[in-house]
Amino acid sequence: MEIGKVVSERAAWVGPDIQGSNEWLLHLNKEELVEIDIALNKLKEDNIKIPFSVNDFKLPILSKKIHSFYDILENRLGFVLIRGIDREKYSDDDCELIYWGIGVHLGTPVSQNTRGHLLGHVTDEGKSISDPTTRMYQTKLKMDFHSDQLPVDVVGLFCQRKAKKGGASFLVSALTIHNVLSQERPDLVEILHQPFNLDWRGENPEGEKPWYTCPMFSFHDGKLTSRITSRAFFESVTRHGEDLALSDKQREALDIVQEISERESLRLSMGFQEGDIQFINNHQILHAREDYEDHDDPKLKRHLLRMWLSFPKEHRRNLSPELMERYAFVEAGGIPKKDAA
């Protein structure tokens, strides 16, 4: 597909048009909820812990709905929200088991950090983003629109507990951003299709240099894929050499991408309810979060569970050669675990 050409797919949506749509908000019915309880009780009776497989968490009815997500995530809007799990009914441990059990019906979880987390915890750890090894999800700061750093197929979130105030989730279609850029700033589109330098922020696999290069947009096999990553990865890369710094044009392009993403005429706002599960296509949906205020009681702090999922091969999109170099890390199991220093 020609760079700068308008992308006319269902995934090139604008938020206000689908804000209240049932196309992405899926409510679990009574049968599906009973099925979850049966699977959960079986796990606990057999003392099965995470990680476990789909054979340990059988969902004969709900699995059919989950398998329909492949089409929704890859060929339609690019995201879904599952609602209906009664958070007050389950312990934190139960929620982890349920979320994992649903997730493995969609894909294979991979490691998200050097701690080897297959099931990540998105909560304020009191860390400073000035630390080049800190990831934004470990703070309560506003997160700009981004894709998660490895090109995993799906990013999943389960809402354990909401913040005292704030913390709303926002989504925007990367295809729509590309279309707007093509109309308003075609000079920057070509820039975004060229390689950028990014910092691994301490999570590079053994034998890999601590920074990498990657285009922010790429066309391959008729699909547009986005790799717009959190700004911290672009800024801290200079610790490995000043020659790796953003050019003025690259900086301007990233600034404009954020400005477009923030437009209320384009983005979709999603207020999590406790028990909600969100799955987004990490290749074509950018997500963001507003800053938040937490509860004083540590037991009430905002807490989301996260999974990075790789699709079964038959459902994966074909990526460009540059991105396949990055996807090789996904196929190898994600970010490798490192011993604590």
Classify residue 116: in a domain, yes or no: yes
Q: How many structural domains is the chain composed of? A: 1
Classify residue 263: in a domain, yes or no: yes
Q: Tell me the CA distances in angstroms from 337 to 119, 232, 298, 319, one per residue in order.
A: 13, 22, 27, 26
Place of tokens 């950028």: 196
Q: Which residues pair with 268 in a beta bridge?
A: 171
Q: What is the CATH number of the domain that holds 270?
A: 3.60.130.10
Q: What is the DSSP string of 163-175?
A: -SEE--EEEEEHH
Q: Which amino acid is at 309?
A: L
Calculate the CA 276 to chain-centre distance. Answer: 15
Classify residue 213: in a domain, yes or no: yes
Write out the residue range of the structural domain in which residue 119 sits. Answer: 15-331
Classify residue 3: in a domain, yes or no: no
Classify residue 110: in a domain, yes or no: yes
Residue-level length of the chain: 341
In our burial notation (b when 16+ CB lie closer than 10 A, e otherwise), range 127-159 reads eebeebebbbbbbbeebbbbbbbbbbbbbbbbb
Q: Which amino acid is at 235?
A: E
**According to the model, what pLDDT value does residue 292 have?**
67
* 18: helix, strand or coil: helix
**According to the model, what pLDDT value does residue 129 have?**
57
Q: What is the DSSP string of 63-125?
A: HHHHHTHHHHHHHSSSEEEEE---GGGS-HHHHHHHHHHHHTTT-EEEB-STT--SSEEES--
Element housing 292 (H / E): strand 292-293
Classify residue 304: in a domain, yes or no: yes
Classify residue 225: in a domain, yes or no: yes
Classify residue 4: in a domain, yes or no: no
Rounded-to-integer distance, Cα 206 and Cα 104, Å? 27
Q: Tell me the CA distances in angstroms from 283 to 123, 137, 286, 316, 341, one per residue in order.
A: 24, 19, 8, 11, 33
Tell me the pLDDT of the chain (341 aa) as tens digits.
Answer: 567 677 888 999 999 999 989 999 999 999 999 999 999 999 999 999 999 999 999 999 999 999 999 999 999 999 999 999 999 999 999 999 999 999 999 999 999 988 899 999 987 555 555 555 545 556 666 789 999 999 999 999 999 998 777 778 899 999 999 999 999 999 999 999 999 999 999 999 888 999 999 999 999 999 999 999 999 999 999 999 999 999 999 999 999 999 999 999 999 998 899 999 999 999 999 999 888 677 777 787 888 999 999 999 999 999 999 999 999 999 999 998 887 65
Q: What are phi and psi of 277, to 5 degrees?
A: -125, 125
Contact call for residues 280 and 78 (beta carbons, < 8 A): yes
pLDDT, tens digit, 9 for 90 and up, residues 164-214: 777 788 999 999 999 999 999 999 999 999 999 999 999 998 889 999 999
Asked if residue 312 has a cis previous peptide bond (ω within 30° of 0), the answer is: no
pLDDT, tens digit, 9 for 90 and up, residues 15-46: 999 998 999 999 999 999 999 999 999 999 99
